[in-house]
């Protein structure tokens, strides 16, 4: 971009978008003063950052959007990055959120829910937890100590007796009146205290109750309280305590090496370290923009925002970030860069975690590099398969045909890049034509967006490979993309027809008559088999989901007078199509919003006798 008149840019706060000649957004940034920020890109001395040279060589135009405040610019920048996903901005490769535990105290008998999205809906949220396995382990302990209900209250009340959890003392069965509302509220208070990290308060209360019931000669209840106390004490002993005291904090550490960055986030809740997560990033920004961009990406999702963030340094826009985070949380959030004491030691611990994660990732990366090189050599590819895509088709007798695309980036699954396809133009069970449609749609969009794979793997043999080759020739991509078909191993009987042997996986390449065989048990074969199996699983899961929806819809659609809204209400009220079928006439009439004549029609439909 040459001869840019900087005077035309405003001096107000706002957002700027760098675009290439075709209008593709390359970079989105914010600034307190747009003209001053853009001046650094076009100065004769240069910006000084390595990636800016590449950005400016491709950038052909700059668009600015003025905002009233710097905070509005921050929010707009975050929105535009999510929308355009510019190449030169930070992207969290693993944008999956942690699971949390939700408890709505406004319900008559509150229950625990495991959720991934934290909403401002008036409920209490606890966490985050590093994995669903950790949540299950935590809830298992909680239900033993405080037996809250497990299932929706209306579903349980329709049962003839309490569920199995009541039999094993992990549910108090409020649905069948086995516990009063006041007693249940005491259990809820204990759960809140336990999940909030106030175990000592819970223990003191339980010990007082145990002494009271023992003095009243209620020894069975005293023994139950004693077991609860022991369970809590064991649970507390397993937790790692941070010496900085109570409160909710997220602690960030950064490790830089070469052209890469590793960021570690430690989650501290009520003074206890409950989890860690690390994120690898490409080194494209200076430290200030790097940290600011990461905080926006990380907390721009539906996640728990702590009261305090401990950072290795404060970015330039820390005040604006603090206001934005406070709005998201609903109360004040503080950003600190500690210089001494226990909080500094926490940041140093996070930095050590980032460094260790970088080392571990480096060893895994080297191993993956070797595997990719082996795939490249054995399959005679023209380039290193950094981005591998595998496609599969799924249908049952030609009905509800779907396609799937799964992606490996540098040998690692990139689930955010997975895609489903509904087959639109093909009638019946024609896998070759369906595959051609999916590839046509995927590669046409890739050409328009400048995002193409290095290597395409097809689940199938020569027929599927021919369909792919035709699409590549139509789009002018023949010779530009590497492609191969992986055929499932054949079952071979010996000469007597008794013993059965299984042949090796075969890889078919364009223009090559004989298939390529990879060494059994080799890492390269395992990676390609895993990619094929993942594409198959992804396609089958999507097809099964569509089939189940179609079954539900078609069955209820046959009942005269039952429209989409009533179908939805029936399924929500009874829980499943099976429950609707099993409901008696009185239960159908008792459903809110269902006239008596409609209840008769539904009952007669499922019980024609």
* Domain, as residue range, for 571: 558-606
How far is it, in rounded angstroms, from Cα 113 to Cα 115?
A: 6
Residue 375 domain-assigned (yes or no) = no
- Look up the CATH number of the domain holding residue 302: 3.30.420.10
Tell which residue, 213, 227, 223, 111, has the closest CA to residue 171: 111
329-346 average pLDDT score:
89
- Look up the CATH number of the domain holding residue 76: 3.40.1440.10
112-115 sheet: strands from edge to edge: 112-115, 99-103, 124-129
Tell which residue, 535, 541, 489, 533, has the closest CA to residue 515: 489
Is the pLDDT score of 477 beyond 70?
yes
CA 179 to chain centre: 38
Residue that wins the pLDDT comparison between 231 and 605: 605
Q: Kindly compute the dihedral angle of the four CA atoms of residues 462, 463, 464, 469, in this order, to the nearest 10 degrees.
A: 80
Same domain, 214 and 267: no
Residue 22 domain-assigned (yes or no) = yes
Same domain, 392 and 539: yes
Residue 463 domain-assigned (yes or no) = yes
How far is it, in rounded angstroms, from Cα 547 to Cα 555?
A: 12
Per-residue pLDDT at 497: 57
Beta strands in 283-327 (DSSP E): 308-310
Residue 367 domain-assigned (yes or no) = no
Percent of the chain with pLDDT strictly greater than 70: 83
Degrees, nearest 5: CA angle 219-195-157: 70
Tens digit of each residue's pLDDT (9 = 90 or more) over 259-318: 678 899 988 877 777 778 888 876 655 778 888 888 888 888 777 788 899 999 998 888
Residue 172 has a CB neighbour count (10 Å cut-off) of 22
Beta strands in 95-192 (DSSP E): 99-103, 112-115, 124-129
Give the three-class secondary structure for 600. Answer: helix
Degrees, nearest 5: CA angle 174-179-183: 115
How far is it, in rounded angstroms, from Cα 115 to Cα 125?
A: 9
Question: Which of 10-19, 292-301, 422-431, 496-505 shows the lowest mean pLDDT across its residues?
Answer: 496-505
Cβ atoms of 405 and 418 closer than 8 Å: yes
Give the model's confidence band at 552: pLDDT under 50 very low, under 70 low, under 90 confident, else very high.
low
Give the bridge partners for 389, in sequence order. Answer: 407, 456
Among the candidates 312, 340, 359, a domain finishes at 359
Residue 522 domain-assigned (yes or no) = yes
Give the model's confidence band at 130: pLDDT under 50 very low, under 70 low, under 90 confident, else very high.
low
219-224 average pLDDT score:
80
Is the pLDDT score of 46 beyond 70?
no
Q: Kindly compute the dihedral angle of the four CA atoms of residues 30, 31, 34, 38, in this order, to the nearest 10 degrees.
A: -80
How far is it, in rounded angstroms, from Cα 416 to Cα 388?
A: 14
Same domain, 506 and 536: yes
Question: Which of 147-156, 269-278, 338-347, 462-471 shows the lowest mean pLDDT across its residues?
Answer: 269-278
Same domain, 518 and 414: yes
Give the model's confidence band at 347: pLDDT under 50 very low, under 70 low, under 90 confident, else very high.
very high
Residue 231 domain-assigned (yes or no) = yes
Residue with tokens 């941070």: 242
Give the model's confidence band at 254: pLDDT under 50 very low, under 70 low, under 90 confident, else very high.
very high
Same domain, 509 and 589: no
Structure tokens that stand for 264 in this block: 């570690």
Same domain, 284 and 330: yes
225-245 average pLDDT score:
56
Can you say whether residue 121 is alpha, beta or left, with left for phi > 0 and alpha for psi between -120 and 50 degrees?
Answer: alpha
Q: How many domains does the chain have?
A: 5
Mean pLDDT of the chain: 80
Degrees, nearest 5: CA angle 200-201-205: 115
Same domain, 73 and 165: no
Residue that wins the pLDDT comparison between 268 and 224: 268
Among the candidates 221, 241, 261, a domain finishes at 241
Same domain, 43 and 170: no
Same domain, 493 and 533: yes
Question: Which of 47-56, 175-184, 513-522, 554-563 shows the lowest mean pLDDT across its residues?
Answer: 47-56
How far is it, in rounded angstroms, from Cα 1 to Cα 26?
A: 13
Q: What is the 3-state secondary structure (H, E, C) of 380-444?
A: CCCCCCCEEEEEEEEEECCEEEEEEEEEEECCEECHHHCEEEECCCCCCCCHHHHHHHHHHHHHH
- Look up the CATH number of the domain holding residue 405: 3.30.420.340
Same domain, 392 and 538: yes
CA 321 to chain centre: 24
Structure tokens that stand for 437 in this block: 């449609």
Per-residue pLDDT at 422: 81
Same domain, 421 and 540: yes
Beta carbons within 8 Å of 260's beta carbon, 6+ residues apart: 280, 281, 282, 283, 358
Per-residue pLDDT at 337: 93
Same domain, 212 and 143: yes
Structure tokens that stand for 15 in this block: 């957002």
Residue 169 domain-assigned (yes or no) = yes
Among the candidates 213, 241, 269, a domain finishes at 241
Q: What is the pTM of this model?
A: 0.54
Residue 380 domain-assigned (yes or no) = no
């Amino acid at each position: 971009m040459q001869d840019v008149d900087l005077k035309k840019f405003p001096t107000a706060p706002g957002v700027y978008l760098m675009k290439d000649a075709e209008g593709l957004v390359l970079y989105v940034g914010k600034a307190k003063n747009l003209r001053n920020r853009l001046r650094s890109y076009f100065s004769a001395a240069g910006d000084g950052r390595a990636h800016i040279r590449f950005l400016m060589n491709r950038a052909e135009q700059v668009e600015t959007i003025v905002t009233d405040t710097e905070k509005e610019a921050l929010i707009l920048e975050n929105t535009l990055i999510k929308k355009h996903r510019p190449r030169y901005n930070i992207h969290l490769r693993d944008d999956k959120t942690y699971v949390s535990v939700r408890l709505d105290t406004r319900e008559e008998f509150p229950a625990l829910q495991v959720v991934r999205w934290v909403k401002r809906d008036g409920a209490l949220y606890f966490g985050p937890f590093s994995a669903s396995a950790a949540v299950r382990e935590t809830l298992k302990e909680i239900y033993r100590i405080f037996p809250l209900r497990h299932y929706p209250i209306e579903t349980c009340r329709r049962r003839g007796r309490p569920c199995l959890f009541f039999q094993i003392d992990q549910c108090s069965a409020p649905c069948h009146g086995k516990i009063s509302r006041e007693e249940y509220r005491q259990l809820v208070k204990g759960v809140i205290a336990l999940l909030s990290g106030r175990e000592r308060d819970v223990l003191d209360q339980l010990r007082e109750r145990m002494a009271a019931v023992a003095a009243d000669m209620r020894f069975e209840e005293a023994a139950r309280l004693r077991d609860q106390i022991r369970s809590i004490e064991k649970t507390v002993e397993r937790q790692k305590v941070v010496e900085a005291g109570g409160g909710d904090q997220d602690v960030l550490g950064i490790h830089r090496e070469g052209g890469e960055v590793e960021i570690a986030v430690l989650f501290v809740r009520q003074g206890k370290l409950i989890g860690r997560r690390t994120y690898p990033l490409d080194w494209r920004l200076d430290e200030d923009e790097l940290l600011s961009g990461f905080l926006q990406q990380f907390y721009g999702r539906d996640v728990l925002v702590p009261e305090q963030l401990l950072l290795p340094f404060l970015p330039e826009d820390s005040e604006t970030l603090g206001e934005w985070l406070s709005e998201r949380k609903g109360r004040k959030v503080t950003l600190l860069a500690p210089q001494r004491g226990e909080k500094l030691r926490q940041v140093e611990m996070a930095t050590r975690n980032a460094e260790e994660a970088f080392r571990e990732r480096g060893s895994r990366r080297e191993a993956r590099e070797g595997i990719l090189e082996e795939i490249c050599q054995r399959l005679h590819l023209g380039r290193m398969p950094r981005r591998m895509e595998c496609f599969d088709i799924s249908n049952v007798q030609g009905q509800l045909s779907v396609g799937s695309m799964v992606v490996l980036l540098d040998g690692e699954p990139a689930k955010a890049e997975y895609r489903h396809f509904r087959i639109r133009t093909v009638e019946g069970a024609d896998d070759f034509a369906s595959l051609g449609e999916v590839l046509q749609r995927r590669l046409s969009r890739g050409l328009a967006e400048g995002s193409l794979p290095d290597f395409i793997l097809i689940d199938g043999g020569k027929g599927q490979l021919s369909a792919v080759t035709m699409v590549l020739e139509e789009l002018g991509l023949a010779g530009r993309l590497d492609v191969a078909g992986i055929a499932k191993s054949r079952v071979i009987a010996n000469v007597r027809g008794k013993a059965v042997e299984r042949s090796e996986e075969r890889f078919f390449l364009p223009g090559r008559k004989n298939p390529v065989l990879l060494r059994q048990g080799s890492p390269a074969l395992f990676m390609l088999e895993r990619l094929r199996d993942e594409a198959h699983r992804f396609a089958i899961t999507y097809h099964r989901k569509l089939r189940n929806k179609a079954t539900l819809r078609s069955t209820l659609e046959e009942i005269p007078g039952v429209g989409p809204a009533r179908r939805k209400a029936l399924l929500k009220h009874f829980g499943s199509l099976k429950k609707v079928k099993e409901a008696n006439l009185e239960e159908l009439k008792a459903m809110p919003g269902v006239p008596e004549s409609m209840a008769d029609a539904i009952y007669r439909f499922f019980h024609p006798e």
